[in-house]
Each structure stands twice: as C-alpha cells, then as structure tokens.
Amino acid sequence: MRFPIRLLPKKEAFLYLEEDRNTERFWSGLLRDLRATGSVYGIAVDGLRARGGVAQRASFNVVSGAAVAQAKQVPLEGVIDNLESARLIQRREIGNLGECIQLHGDIFGFPDLNYLRARRLADGVLLDGLREWARRLGLASYGAISIRSDDDAPRFSTFHWDLCGPSYLTPLVSTVRGKHKPGFLVADVFCDGPLSRDHVQYFLRKTRVLRSMRSLRPFLPILLADGYEKDALLAGKSEGIIMATPRNLFGDDVARALTTLLDTLRRSAAIAAGNPDKIYELLSSLSAIEGAAGNLRGALFEMIVGYLVADIEGYSIDIGEIVHDPKDGEPAEIDVRGLKGRLECWCCECRARHPDHRIGVDEVNKWLSRVDRIYRYHRAEKRFQGHRFTFELWTTGQFDVDAIKLLKSEKAKRRKLTLEWRDGPAVRSYAQSARRKSILNALDEHYFKHPLYDGDSDKS
C-alpha cells in the first residue's frame, strides 16, 4: 500500500503492508524514513518532541523548522495541515494557553499538560535572561530585541524564532549604497534537556535554508538548552551555531535554580502543600535574571493560595487542573481546587495584580463563564456527586464598584453553588491565619510592596 499523504521529498512514497497499518512497526518505519530523507515533516515532529510532545501554536511555529512562505519550500500552514491529515499531530485548545499542537495521542501517547504549563513559565524566565545577556553584551539593539509570547513569535526572514533582534556588531553590519544595514541575532531556547541530534535538526534546517538565500543580511544563531547529547553538540558546532547552556551564560547558581524551577512548577500542588517556601527561595536565586519575578508571580500566587487553603481549611489541593465542559467541550483551567472528602469542592481563580489594579466587570464576566463550565464538568462527574461547590475569585489588587455590584447580584441568583471573592487586603488578612509567616512575607514582598511590580506581567 502507498501512504496517501505525501510526506517524503522528491516524490518518494512510503510503502507498507496492509496488515501493518497503524501498528508500531508502521509508525516507527514512517518516522525512520522521514528522518532519513530529511523531510520537513519529520523535522517538525522531532522539533515538537524536543518541546515534550506539545506546544502552544507560537512555539510550534518556532520548532517546526518550516518557513512561513518561501519558494520551493513547504509553507508552515501546509506542514501543519499535512501532518494533521497523516494523524501525526493534532490541534487542541488547552485552557488559557489557547491553540496548541501536540503529537497525536493515539500514536505517541498523551503529553503531560502540567509539563507544558511549567515549561511555558520556565521558558519565559530563560528568554528574559537571554535577552538581558544580549543587551549587556551589545549583541543586539537594546530596545529592539523581541521574544516569543503566548500568541506570537518574532520573525527573521521566513522563519519564526524565540528571540530576534537587529545587531550592529561589525561582522554583521553590511553597507548598501553608503548606508549601514544591521544583521540579526536569532535564538531558540529550551529550559530542559539534553537535546538529541534529532531534536536540533529543525534549528540546523532553518540556518541552512537562510544561508542558501542570496542577499540575506548576516545573522548570528544561538541555541540555548539545558544540555546536549554529544552528536547534537557536534552537529551544531559544525554548522557554526553557538550551542549555549544556562551554566556557561549565567553561571552555576542560576543554572541549578532554573533546573529546580521546572521541577517545582511541575509539582506545584505537592510543593505548595509540603514546602511552600520553595518557589519563594527560587525567586531569590533567580534574581540575577531580569524579569524572572514577573514571569513567576502568577505561579507563585497560585501556590500561596494552595498552601493557605490546605493549611487553614484542611483541603487537599490541585493546581492548574484543565477540565472540559460536557456541554460543548470547551476547556477551562482551575487555578486552585480544594477538596474535603466527599463534602466540599472549592475552586479558586487567582489574579496576581498590582495593588492598585482594579478588576472590572469584563474580567468578572469572563470568570463567571469559566465558573459555569467548571461547575458543569464537576456535576457530570460521578465522584463529585453530593459535593457542595464554592467558587472564589482572589486578587492581590482591588475590585471596582460595578464589579462588586455584579458579583453580589450573581451570588444572590445562584442557588446551587456559592460565589465569594477576596481583594488584596482580604487575602493578606486571611494569610495572617497561616502557620508560616514566610507566606505573609512573600505576599508583602512580591505583591503588596514590590516597587517594580508591573501589573500586566501576570502569566497565570
């Protein structure tokens, strides 16, 4: 049989026996031949594997190794469509992470979504660190370095990158008609590792394709990861790529803190219940990286809330649980959920905001729509039958007058569940009842008294 989706270059076809279709032998043979032929589809699959098998759409655009649009190249959208048709990947909406691309669960198994959430935050810390490092060395224009966000990734030429910025370093500057034109610094980052040779092929492909283009401005490529297997390191260096690690950029202490950070974020509920001081300690050890506190403030607040209700109310807690509304399949993320036997189910939306930030009607309405989805999910689950349901909205900021009116009105209307809310002073007052005063200190230092707090930096 001939595989119906053309994934191999030069009009080659993948042939198989009918009895092997959809077996492990079939899929491993297909991946083997995709790699052997240098197919962009195989490179995209391995790039996604380097991200743990699942990535937000902007992140997949980076690791796909596919050009947005370029002559004689399969465009990015075409790569996604064909891989989806071949059942190698699938698109899905995941909570507040938006559209994500993952390796198909029926073939590769389902990825760890806690890992995706943790890696998103750790990648943000690493990208901030790399941007600051590039600024201090003058590798790119100080205010013009862009980094990947949840929704978009910067472009240089026809490819997406995690980091991109114009550079006026002498080897990268070109002169056209008497005018200096900058080159570019481009980089991709991985907060974990080690990366294998297959994992780095997408990056090698991007640099090779660009270097084959005429009249392209000079560029300096950097790949930053926790570590590399030997053949991956040799492959990158042979292509003239800077293969960096956090240790050789930021030093041993920061590198260890970054490694610990990823593990802590993956086990946030267990850490919050057993050792809530852990992430607070990490913030201190990562203080050398500009922006680290801003990236982690949302996650830290969720862990603080989790610790408080576990300590004071006796709840067993989950953090970052993603559920789906049985009515329409829409996802919703529960920041913190507390359970008490078969009696109570308590769900909290955490909003780490500037002390002066006021939550308005629009934000409350969005929360209420999530409350409805989360409630329908729990009511449809047998294990939650007979529970009392409480939904709370906690913020380190404040609520405006109209938002309070709406909350009171909705609380009076809803008979089958309880709605509550706490502003910054109420959260602080509640924290005073906890056994660990370090939690109150953390709230004061990072939420209520932090002089450089940017209220828009929350990424929870």
**Based on the domain organization, do 77 and 149 belong to the same domain?**
no
Number of domains in the chain: 3
- Which of 194, 218, 250 finishes a domain? 250
- What mean pLDDT is predicted for residues 289-313? 83
Q: Is residue 156 part of a domain?
A: yes
**Based on the domain organization, do 79 and 191 belong to the same domain?**
no
CA distance 91 to 84: 8
Gyration radius from the chain CA atoms: 24
**Based on the domain organization, do 271 and 337 belong to the same domain?**
yes
Q: Is residue 169 part of a domain?
A: yes
Angle (CA) 170 173 178, round 5°: 115
- At 293 the pLDDT is 64
- What mean pLDDT is predicted for residues 11-30? 94
Residues 36-55 pLDDT 10s: 999 999 999 999 999 999 99
Q: Is residue 30 part of a domain?
A: yes
- What mean pLDDT is predicted for residues 197-219? 94
**Based on the domain organization, do 375 and 425 belong to the same domain?**
yes
Residue 301, domain extent: 267-457
Query: Residue 456: pLDDT above 50?
Result: no
- What mean pLDDT is predicted for residues 93-118? 86
Indicate which CATH number applies to the domain containing 74: 1.10.10
Task: Find the range with the poorest average confidence among 176-185, 210-219, 290-299, 368-377.
Answer: 290-299
Query: Residue 195: pLDDT above 90?
Result: yes
Task: Find the range with the poorest average confidence among 101-110, 221-230, 232-241.
Answer: 101-110
Mean residue pLDDT across the chain: 89
156 contact partners, CB below 8 Å, separation of at least 6 = 164, 184, 186, 210, 219
**Based on the domain organization, do 135 and 171 belong to the same domain?**
yes
**Based on the domain organization, do 233 and 298 belong to the same domain?**
no
- Which of 52, 85, 112 finishes a domain? 112
30 contact partners, CB below 8 Å, separation of at least 6 = 3, 7, 14
- At 52 the pLDDT is 92
**Based on the domain organization, do 360 and 272 belong to the same domain?**
yes
Q: Is residue 7 part of a domain?
A: no
387 contact partners, CB below 8 Å, separation of at least 6 = 342, 343, 344, 345, 378
CA distance 332 to 164: 32
**Based on the domain organization, do 403 and 271 belong to the same domain?**
yes
Q: Is residue 57 part of a domain?
A: yes
Q: Is residue 52 part of a domain?
A: yes
CB atoms within 10 A of CB 254: 21
Q: Is residue 151 part of a domain?
A: yes
**Based on the domain organization, do 29 and 71 belong to the same domain?**
yes
- Which of 112, 141, 156 finishes a domain? 112
Indicate which CATH number applies to the domain containing 135: 3.40.1350
**Based on the domain organization, do 184 and 306 belong to the same domain?**
no
**Based on the domain organization, do 294 and 406 belong to the same domain?**
yes
Residues 254-280 pLDDT 10s: 888 888 888 888 888 788 777 777 767
Query: Residue 454: pLDDT above 80?
Result: no
Task: Find the range with the poorest average confidence among 110-114, 150-154, 277-281.
Answer: 277-281
Label residue 288 by pLDDT band (50, 70, 90): low
Q: Is residue 225 part of a domain?
A: yes
- What mean pLDDT is predicted for residues 126-148? 93
- At 391 the pLDDT is 97
**Based on the domain organization, do 158 and 22 belong to the same domain?**
no
**What are the C-alpha distances in Å from 116 to residues 141, 154, 263, 265, 378?**
31, 21, 12, 10, 24
User: Does 351 or 441 have the greater pLDDT score?
Assistant: 351
- At 298 the pLDDT is 84
- What mean pLDDT is predicted for residues 161-181? 89
